[in-house]
Amino acid sequence: MSLQDIAFYFFGFIAVLSTILVIVNPNPVHGLMYLVVSLLAVASVFFSLGAPFAAMLEVIVYAGAIMVLFVFVVMMLNLGESVIRQEQAWLRPSTWIGPGILCAALLFPILRLMLDGHHTPAGLREIGPKEVGIALFGPYLLAVELASMMLTAGLVAAYHLGKHD
């Protein structure tokens, strides 16, 4: 087992663990912090797989920007004890057992595919930002343009919603 492998499993384990904690933690802000940890762990997994560019974008965009806004909103809502009780109520088995079964059903085919062995191993070599850029603006140009159009639509909508009458 190489150093990369150890790193991969270590960060993978942290990601899984912190994601579980996001779900079971009754305090919204603490939950969000676990989510940040989970994102950072996933970024580290990317790193260990030789995709540092993806890792950094994960941190900058998700952990550094989107989650900050989440925390911001939760902070402003000033949620108190009542929310924590509500969260705890949602953690009763009768609430989560249905969705849990559905998720397990989804997990099964994924595991099957993974154990199948018909996939190329990642992390054979490091993919730098330049290569990512060449790929994005070469073969995947159409997808990039579509995504940018979607983002523009989102921007316009946000502007419209945020505009004072």
The Cα–Cα gap between 127 and 119 comes to 18
Binding mask 117-136 for other proteins (x = CB under 8 A): ---------x-xxx------
DSSP per residue, 93-125: HHHHHHHHHHHHHHHHHHHHHHHH--SPPS-SS
Tell me: does residue 29 bind other proteins (CB under 8 A). Answer: yes
- Site for other proteins (CB under 8 A): which residue of 7, 21, 56, 122? 56
Sign of the C-alpha dihedral, residues 101, 27, 61, 160? positive
Residue 36, CA distances (Å) to 66, 131, 161 in order: 10, 28, 27
Q: Which is nearer to other proteins, 8 or 36 (CB)?
A: 36
* Total of residues contacting other proteins (CB under 8 A): 24
Stretch of residues binding other proteins (CB under 8 A), selected from 13-21, 61-69, 81-89, 105-113: 61-69
- If one asks whether residue 63 binds other proteins (CB under 8 A), the answer comes out as yes
Burial of 40 (0-12, 13-18, 19+ CB in 10 A): buried
Binding other proteins (rule: CB under 8 A), the pick from 26, 50, 64, 123 is: 64
- Which residue ranges make up the site for other proteins (CB under 8 A)? 29-30, 33, 36, 52-53, 55-57, 59-60, 63-65, 68-69, 71-72, 75-76, 126, 128-130
